[in-house]
Amino acid sequence: MKLTIFAATGGIGRQVLEQALAAGHDVTAVVRNPKKLPGEVRGQVRIVTADLADPDPAALESALRGADTVLSGLGPRRKAEYGIVSKGTRAIVQAMQATEVRRIVVVSAGPIGTVPSPGRPKPPKNDPGDGFFMRNLLSPLVKAALRKPYADLALMEDILRDSGLEWTVVRPPRLTNGPLTGTYRTAYGRNVRGGLRISRADVAHLMLRVLEQPETIKQTIGIAY
Ligand X SMILES: NC(=O)c1ccc[n+]([C@@H]2O[C@H](COP(=O)([O-])OP(=O)(O)OC[C@H]3O[C@@H](n4cnc5c(N)ncnc54)[C@H](OP(=O)(O)O)[C@@H]3O)[C@@H](O)[C@H]2O)c1
How many residues make contact with ligand X (CB under 6 A)? Answer: 28
d(CA 71, CA 1): 12
Pick the piece of the chain touching ligand X (CB under 6 A) from 81-89, 92-100, 116-124, 208-216: 81-89
Least spacing, CB of residue 23 vs ligand X, in Å = 19
Q: Which residue is nearest to ligand X (CB)?
A: 75
109 binds ligand X (CB under 6 A): yes
Task: Assess contact for 32 and 220: CB atoms under 8 A.
Answer: no
Residue 13 makes contact with ligand X by CB under 6 A: yes
**Measured from the CB of residue 186, what is the shortest distance to ligand X in angstroms?**
15
Give the binding range for ligand X (CB under 6 A) out of 11-19, 63-71, 115-123, 205-213. 11-19
Residue 84 binds to ligand X (criterion: CB under 6 A): yes
Single out the segment in contact with ligand X by CB under 6 A; choices: 32-40, 91-99, 120-128, 158-166: 32-40
Q: Given the complex with ligand X, which of 36 and 147 has the nearer CB atom?
A: 36
C-alpha to C-alpha distance for 202 and 173, rounded to whole angstroms:
12
Of the candidate residues 16, 45, 48, 74, the single one contacting ligand X (CB under 6 A): 74
Distance of CA 183 to the CA centre of its chain: 19
Nearest to 89 by CA among 101, 77, 107: 107
Q: Which of the ranges 48-56, 57-65, 92-100, 113-121 carries the binding residues for ligand X, by CB under 6 A?
A: 48-56
For the stretch 40-52, what's the b/e string if a residue is b when 16 or more beta carbons lie within 10 angstroms of its beta carbon?
A: ebeeebeebebeb
- Spatial distance between the Cα atoms of 36 and 66, rounded to a whole number of angstroms: 25
**107 belongs to the binding site for ligand X (CB under 6 A):** yes
State yes or no: residue 174 binds ligand X (CB under 6 A).
Answer: yes
Q: How far apart are CA 49 and CA 125, in angstroms?
A: 40
Do residues 125 and 114 lie in contact, with contact meaning Cβ atoms separated by under 8 Å?
yes
